[in-house]
A and B are shown apart, each in its own frame.
Chain A
Amino acid sequence: MNLFLQQLVNGLSIGSIYALMAVGYSLVYSIMNFSNFAHGSVIMLGAYFGYYAMTILGLPFAGAAVAAALGSGLVAVALERLAYKPLRDRRAPFLYFIITAMGASMFIDNSVIATIGPTPKMYPEIFGQGPIALGQINVGRIDLAMLVISAASLAALILFIDYTRVGKAIQATAYNMKASALMGISPNFVVILVFAIGGALAGIAGILYGMKYQVFPQIGAITIKSFIAAVFGGLGSLPGALLGALLLGLLETFVSGYIPNGTQYRDLWVYLLLIIVLIVRPAGIMGKSSEDKA
């Protein structure tokens, strides 16, 4: 029983990381109807921004988190302005967006490798060392911190979207960009805002990821998991992304923990589930069933 509970905790801890990543990605998708495949690179940059904020600028965790969110938010907006907006203006086919996103992620990831280098870096231990024991179960300190921060960020986001005027403007634009523009909501403004928020969430996800594991340039590769999590939960749905991510984390952990040699095959199970979801219910758990899936 204890083994099971420990694995449960392990699974939720991985899931909460995926959640932060998936929500930012899903947010952008819900507005732009486009998968920002460069999201992973923004997350990775967040990890580095936070790291340097702590080590070179000597900021405490809160300051570093803000630095990471700001830095990543800026990068995301820059990406939008420089790479995606020109395509949008030209009504470029959907294919071009994906290609550009891929190019951007390749550019960012390898720039970091070529300049800072591929050797992983370690965040200073600010939450103290050693686990926190709840009976027989051990929870890492950083996991608890992450839980709190993720929950807070997501709550803030949902409150913002549902209860502020600007949030409603975002919802309106997601529903129908042209009509909202006619009602006086500037689509440009909304797009920039959405990318900024998505980027900020990515930045926080990055610094938390870096603290939980290590800081290295290939962090972006993890994000394929967050795409899958978002698909599970329903692309475009924020609560769905959260749910999908937690489920994914649990799935991974239980495959690894209970199936013999599971850790080697773990990702295979994830992809298998992805295919099943895409065939049976492409809208995901909480996605709106939309006709243009086909």
Chain B
Amino acid sequence: MTIVAGCDVGSLTTKAVLLKDNRLISTSLIRSKAKPQESARIAMEELFAKADLSEKEMEYCVGTGYGREKLAFVNAVKSEIACHGKGAKWLLPSVKTIIDIGGQDCKVIKIDESGTATRFVTNDKCASGTGRFLEVMAQVLGIDISELGQQSSRSKSPVTLASTCTVWAQADVIKQINSGVPIEDIGAGINLAMAKRIATLANSIKPENDICMTGGVAKNQGVMSLLEQLMGCRIRKIRKSDPQLAGAIGAALFAQEKLLSA
């Protein structure tokens, strides 16, 4: 019996998972704090509480995400790209291309049969095309980020927004609200701006089927549908678990591999 953990400390959320003999037995997902160590501690405490296990029972833990280098309790660290590749393969075995949209970046990763990343592209500097972009826009619209995805199906005429800069896009949204444009049209415009940026990035790496999305934005049906339209291909939905956990799952799988090979 092996019990391993993966902890993914991202810029917006921290995720942790426990795997027991390759089965997911506990997960936690919290809003990241200012200090990565604190985020990880809270997420891990929640993780063990849910599984009714103590930390001592964990045999190996791999850390990933932006805060990974700061985690004292992990046995090893792995890059996010490697973890998302591994995690996505476990969640959807047929996957070859992963679009991962995190809080502060967007990555398109190609993987091989073993889930090892072979190529990747990332956005460069701007927050457009990242989870942070959607979060800021939802705040301006006064809706919860989880409601943003539904706006696309309700809209009859999505607005066109600036998509090279989050601050400018925010100014555009405020202008549209003040002009009386319906919320759903603005929301749909936001999803479209986001999808266009991701599609451009994804197409640059020549994605291969099956394609899936990981990260928090994978839960935004509006962006996902628009992305399918823009890329002209189907994006497979991850159903086995929360797609936002892919990085943490990948980290746990690395931990499991390490234990089994020892």
Does chain A bind chain B? no
Q: Which A residues form the contact surface with B (CB < 8 A)?
A: none
